[in-house]
Amino acid sequence: MRKLSRREFLVIGGGAAVTAAVAACGGQPAPAPAPAKVEPTQAPAPAAKAEPTKAPAAPASKYKEAPQLAELVKSGKLPAVDERVGAEPMIVKPYEKIGKYGGKWRSALLGRSDTPWLGRTMGNDPLARWAPDLKSVVPNVAQKWEISPDGKEFTFYLRKGMKWSDGSPFTADDFVYWYEDVIMNDELTRVKPTWFRPGGKVGKLTKVDDYAFKMIFEVPNGLLIKNLNGAGQFFPPAAYMKQFHIKYNKEKVEAAYKEAKMQDWVAYYNQKNDWPLNAERPTHMGWKVVQALGAGDATQMTATRNPYYWKVDTEGNQLPYIDDLQYFIIEKVEGITLKALNGEIDMTDRHITTPDNKAVFTDNKQKGGYEFFVSKSAFECPTVLALNLTHKDPGLREVFQKKDFRIALSIAINRKEIIDTIYVGDGEPRQPAPLDESPHYHERLAKQYTEYDPDRANKMLDDLGLKKGPDGMRLRFDGKPLVITIEVAQAFEPWAQQMEMVARYWKAVGVNTNVKSMERSLFYAHKNANEHDAGVWTGADGMVVMMDPRWTIPFSNESLWGVAWADWWTSGGKQGEEPPPEVKKGLDLYDELRITTDETKQAQLMKQILDAAADYFPCMGITRYYKGYGIRKTNFKNLPNEVWGWHLCNSPAQTMPEQYYFE
């Protein structure tokens, strides 16, 4: 999946059309408690002076709220909680028990580019969302939806009375604005989201009434519902964002972006719509930004509860329970680790919770006041190594596109040694493929070319005609030295250490290899510009693989092995390069899958895609995922003891952080 843009909701997905309205897990207002018993009023004593008649007391509220908000209501700075949550708030059943208000959740960002963690903790309230077990899609912003039998028309019903964090109405007009003035504006959205153009035809969005809208497509959109519950949300606050849109405010917008020395009005608009960078932008999420991500010297980002949040617990308490969020901005993983060991991180399962850190975290449990929870990965594998098959250098491209070259490099890797050294023996040689638990499990794709056989690798390279020079290192077909630089981001896994071992194995068969570690944003810049020789990232979805088949087809610019091909596909042929027939085969099958509403047929098509990927062998893995863990303070509650880790649901967002609390 390509890196998500914060100005559009581009998620990737799979699944079947729903043929009936879905109204589970929210949508109805919380029941009002029984009215309090009214005591009879006593008459004043005859000699007492008559008091002026008092205005009748306000009716008891259906809902309860955080003390800090109650004080603002009392002082007249906020309307009553009943007005703020709307007529149809979503009811959330707490995982363990009804929580307590208060506290500050401290975690960390690995530099300013680590924005996915923001989405995983405070920024995930799409139209529909994954249930905590990842087995179903449940209502969220949309309290229900209806889908036509032919899978071409989708009607979404919003929650009446829902508001943005500034108190302005949240209605279908926000979605109409997104469609008419963002998606259909070719300057703001040059390439239309693939999920919104099944069969290559861009869909339409029409307003039904203030709290309902339709999405209409020319062909069935079999993946839409699961596409709408991924990492983020696409709807902007229309009333606020119009002031930065050139269509509505031409003179001021032009003057503003020029004064800010920005390239154009699009850059200016996108900056204003970037909620981590713009604390003034209204939000519909549980917390609103107070201290924005800021400039390069910023040391933290903070957020506080959204007083207009539209979710309540089963006893009518407005969520979230936790008052504030604090994100330390730290440039190195070691700095985050130290914070956690000192007890200054309340909950995280990102960056630092690696196998090699577990021993030190275990030893410091009591001192740090934390405990472990299980982070069960739904990813294919922790490490995928991909050569750039669309390399700008024709000489390298010619070598990389030889399947036998890729096979030779794969069997030259001693995976067991890497597993024993890096993952303390917790692993099994594995290629990126659906998990054993997945209905899409594909044994050939998972296990092929994982044996360690350097002698065979050497022979295959010899047979390809890759001769060795005087230094024992191989030459390309054009006679130039064959040198591969593997780029790794400083994030998630000990990738640099793994790749240093891989470089040693490849040099042993005559392929000169270097490893270059870099900050994540630079890694992405190189990858997006198609300037890398080879790159490393995690596996993708290992359960419902059709949601993110980045390692089987050039699905997005996260497909490190074929960025130019992915650009061609996602742009509808307007950018990048058309892939060869053997690669295009998988894309054609996926296009067919996207307009298929029958789950059985979708599964059949997915198997054909996996078969084609196994035949082509575009990239290689190292091991299955290790047994993951996260850390949380011992008083951090309502987080399940076992959490599925999955980027498409913005894990752990599917467990609803708004109901976490401190004991």
264 and 388 both lie in a single domain:
no
Q: Which residues contact 46 (CB under 8 A, 6 or more apart)?
A: none
The rounded distance, in Å, linking the Cα atoms of 373 and 630 is 5
| Residue 404 counted as domain residue | yes
Does the pLDDT value for residue 509 go beyond 80? yes
| Residue 594 counted as domain residue | yes
Q: Which residues contact 465 (CB under 8 A, 6 or more apart)?
A: 477
pLDDT at position 37 is: 33
Query: CA nearest 221: which of 585, 591, 499, 546?
Result: 591
Task: Fill in the amino acid letter for 433.
Answer: A
pLDDT at position 597 is: 86
**pLDDT for 226-258, tens place per residue?**
888 754 466 899 999 999 999 999 999 999 999
Residue 259, CA distances (Å) to 52, 252, 254 in order: 60, 10, 9
Q: Which residues contact 638 (CB under 8 A, 6 or more apart)?
A: 94, 95, 96, 97, 99, 321, 659, 660, 661
pLDDT at position 376 is: 83
Instruction: Band the pLDDT of 626: cuts 50, 70, 90.
Output: confident
Does the pLDDT value for residue 579 go beyond 80? yes
pLDDT at position 233 is: 60
pLDDT at position 19 is: 28
388 and 353 both lie in a single domain:
no
pLDDT at position 61 is: 80
Averaged pLDDT, 59-82: 93
443 and 324 both lie in a single domain:
no
Does the pLDDT value for residue 5 go beyond 90? no
Averaged pLDDT, 307-316: 98
Q: What are phi and psi of 157, to 5 degrees?
A: -110, 120
Please give the share of the chain, as a percent, with pLDDT higher than 90: 75
| Residue 565 counted as domain residue | yes
492 and 609 both lie in a single domain:
yes
| Residue 605 counted as domain residue | yes
Higher pLDDT, 355 or 582: 582
| Residue 225 counted as domain residue | no
297 and 439 both lie in a single domain:
no
458 and 514 both lie in a single domain:
yes
| Residue 343 counted as domain residue | yes
433 and 578 both lie in a single domain:
yes
Averaged pLDDT, 8-23: 30
287 and 329 both lie in a single domain:
yes
Higher pLDDT, 188 or 20: 188
Averaged pLDDT, 9-24: 30
Instruction: Band the pLDDT of 498: cuts 50, 70, 90.
Output: very high
Does residue 554 have a cis peptide bond before it, meaning omega lies within 30 degrees of 0?
no
pLDDT at position 32 is: 36
The DSSP H or E segment spanning 593 is helix 581-594
pLDDT at position 125 is: 92
pLDDT at position 648 is: 67
Quote the mean pLDDT of the chain.
Answer: 89
443 backbone φψ class: left, alpha, beta (φ>0; ψ -120 to 50): alpha
pLDDT at position 356 is: 83
Q: Which residue has the tokens 């964090």?
A: 165
| Residue 62 counted as domain residue | no
The domain that contains 561 carries what CATH number? 3.10.105.10
Do residues 9 and 193 lie in contact, with contact meaning Cβ atoms separated by under 8 Å?
A: yes
The domain that contains 276 carries what CATH number? 3.40.190.10
| Residue 96 counted as domain residue | no
Residue 355, CA distances (Å) to 280, 342, 491, 630 in order: 40, 19, 14, 11
327 and 420 both lie in a single domain:
no
DSSP 405-421: HHHHHHHTS-HHHHHHH
The rounded distance, in Å, linking the Cα atoms of 567 and 397 is 17
CA dihedral defined by 474, 478, 479, 482, rounded to 10 degrees? -30
The rounded distance, in Å, linking the Cα atoms of 251 and 249 is 6
Inter-axis angle of helices 333-341 and 355-363, nearest 10: 30
Sequence-separated contacts (24+) of 197-205 with Cβ below 8 Å: 197/572, 198/222, 198/223, 198/224, 198/594, 198/595, 199/591, 199/594, 199/595, 200/572, 200/591, 204/179, 205/175, 205/176, 205/178, 205/179, 205/180
pLDDT at position 59 is: 59
**pLDDT for 98-116, tens place per residue?**
999 999 999 999 988 888 8
Q: Which domain covers residue 426, as residue numbers?
A: 384-621
Q: How crowded is the C-beta side of 309, counted as CA atoms within 13 Å?
A: 31
595 and 486 both lie in a single domain:
yes
Do residues 501 and 421 lie in contact, with contact meaning Cβ atoms separated by under 8 Å?
A: yes
364 and 499 both lie in a single domain:
no
Query: CA nearest 155: which of 234, 97, 107, 224?
Result: 224
CA-angle at 562, arms to 556 and 564, nearest 5°: 80
Instruction: Band the pLDDT of 491: cuts 50, 70, 90.
Output: confident
Please give the share of the chain, as a percent, with pLDDT higher than 70: 89
**pLDDT for 255-305, tens place per residue?**
999 999 999 999 999 999 999 999 999 999 999 999 999 866 789 999 999
Does the pLDDT value for residue 527 go beyond 50? yes
DSSP state of 7: T
Residue 431, CA distances (Å) to 411, 426, 543, 617 in order: 11, 16, 15, 10
Q: How crowded is the C-beta side of 214, counted as CA atoms within 13 Å?
A: 12
Averaged pLDDT, 188-200: 89
Q: What are phi and psi of 23, to 5 degrees?
A: -140, 30
The rounded distance, in Å, linking the Cα atoms of 461 and 467 is 8
The DSSP H or E segment spanning 594 is helix 581-594
502 and 642 both lie in a single domain:
no
pTM over 0.85, yes/no: no
**pLDDT for 357-408, tens place per residue?**
999 999 999 999 999 999 888 889 999 999 999 999 999 999 999 999 999 9
DSSP 293-330: --STT--EEEEEE-TT--EEETTSBBSP---EEEEEEE
**pLDDT for 30-62, tens place per residue?**
333 333 332 333 333 333 343 444 444 455 789
When divided into structural domains, the chain yields a total of: 2
Do residues 125 and 284 lie in contact, with contact meaning Cβ atoms separated by under 8 Å?
A: yes
Does the pLDDT value for residue 505 go beyond 70? yes
CB 615: neighbour CB atoms within 10 A? 13
Does the pLDDT value for residue 17 go beyond 70? no
The rounded distance, in Å, linking the Cα atoms of 208 and 158 is 11
The DSSP H or E segment spanning 487 is strand 483-489
Beta bridge partners of 537: 384
Alpha helices in 465-535 (DSSP H): 495-508, 520-528
